[in-house]
Amino acid sequence: MDAAYTPRGEHRTRVAWIDTDAAGIYHNSAVTRYVEAAEAELMRAHGLPGYFPYAPRVRYEVEFEAALRFDQEVTAIVEIERIGTSSMTFAFELWREALPDRPRTRAAFGRYVTVHIHDDGHGEDGARSKPWPADWVTKLRQLPVSR
């Protein structure tokens, strides 16, 4: 990516009860949902609302550093590290916002790769990668359309 601008998305929310176990501690899978919400913000800000159906994840890594509990505020931040011919690499961080007795803490971080696909009409087995549309790449390398 250009050192002058890195496409970034951010999503702030609270840990919902549905995202927790019986003790009120978040499920590992909640990270994916928070990160995807930040990714959606990134794509929406760059004028690419139709991105998701054509960009499945093909690799996903996460390191867990701190527990999140029901109703805590969290912020997911996603940045595009690399735009390839038909894939994109994203880095992310998930932060637990400050509490009265605790500072802001990184709860998880990682990276994932998406691939641009095209379904040739033969169902899932017929989906093949293809280059990102040139206008998508151009939009992602420019400042967002709205902030």
6: nearest Cα among 42, 53, 49:
42
Convert the pLDDT of each residue in 17-37 to its tens digit: 999 998 889 999 999 999 999
> Does 145 reside within a domain?
no
Q: Which of 5, 3, 6, 4 is nearest to 89 (CA)?
A: 6
Domain containing residue 127 = 8-140
Number of independent structural domains in the chain: 1
pTM as predicted: 0.88
Extract the tokens encoding 77.
């931040």
pLDDT average, residue stretch 7-20: 95
Q: Output the domain CATH number for residue 116.
A: 3.10.129.10
pLDDT digits (tens, 9 = 90+) for 88-145: 999 999 999 998 899 999 999 999 999 999 765 555 555 688 999 999 999 999 877 6
